[in-house]
Amino acid sequence: QKEVEQNSGPLSVPEGAIASLNCTYSDRVSQSFFWYRQYSGKSPELIMSIYSNGDKEDGRFTAQLNKASQYVSLLIRDSQPSDSATYLCAVPGGFKTIFGAGTRLFVKA
């Protein structure tokens, strides 16, 4: 049974700080990894995808992948109150994507 593990939080950071969200996965052959953001009462939206080891940056977001350790993380720099949401790690495989339980992030103004 493939698993994706996330700390459910809540993770609370002050405005302007770096928020660090972590995810581990069990399937060693996984090749692609996604981070989704879900605001309360809304649907998940894709914010980052990463396919190879190392870092991928997009604006204030950086995804980090370490396939040897089966670990993927999301860093949010200069966190804003509008970043307060649940962040879901997702690992697809064979037309079935396994989502983590999500980490709730609160950014305090």
Partner 1 sequence: DTAVSQTPKYLVTQMGNDKSIKCEQNLGHDTMYWYKQDSKKFLKIMFSYNNKELIINETVPNRFSPKSPDKAHLNLHINSLELGDSAVYFCASSQAMYEQYFGPGTRLTVT
- Min dist CB 82 to partner 1, Å, is 19
- The structure tokens listed for 15 are 């405005």
Of 13-21, 38-46, 55-63, 77-85, the window that binds partner 1 (rule: CB under 8 A) is 38-46
- State the Cα torsion 4-80-66-31 to the nearest 10°: 60
- Taking the complex as a whole, the smallest distance from the CB of residue 96 to partner 1 amounts, in Å, to 5
Using CB under 8 A as the binding rule, whether residue 42 contacts partner 1 is answered as yes
We find the least distance from the C-beta atom of residue 92 to partner 1, in angstroms, to be 5
Of 17 and 97, nearer to partner 1 (C-beta) is 97
Which of 37, 64, 62 is closest to 52 using CA atoms?
64
- Kindly state the helix (H) or strand (E) to which residue 55 belongs, with its residue range: strand 54-58
Q: Which is nearer to partner 1, 16 or 59 (CB)?
A: 59
Q: Read off φ and ψ for residue 81, nearest 5 degrees.
A: -55, -30
- Spatial distance between the Cα atoms of 40 and 78, rounded to a whole number of angstroms: 21
Strand 71-76 and strand 33-38: the pairing is: unpaired
- Which residue, 28 or 109, has its beta carbon nearer to partner 1? 28
- The correct pick among 73, 86, 87, 107 for binding partner 1 (CB under 8 A) is 86
Contact between 92 and partner 1 (CB under 8 A)? yes
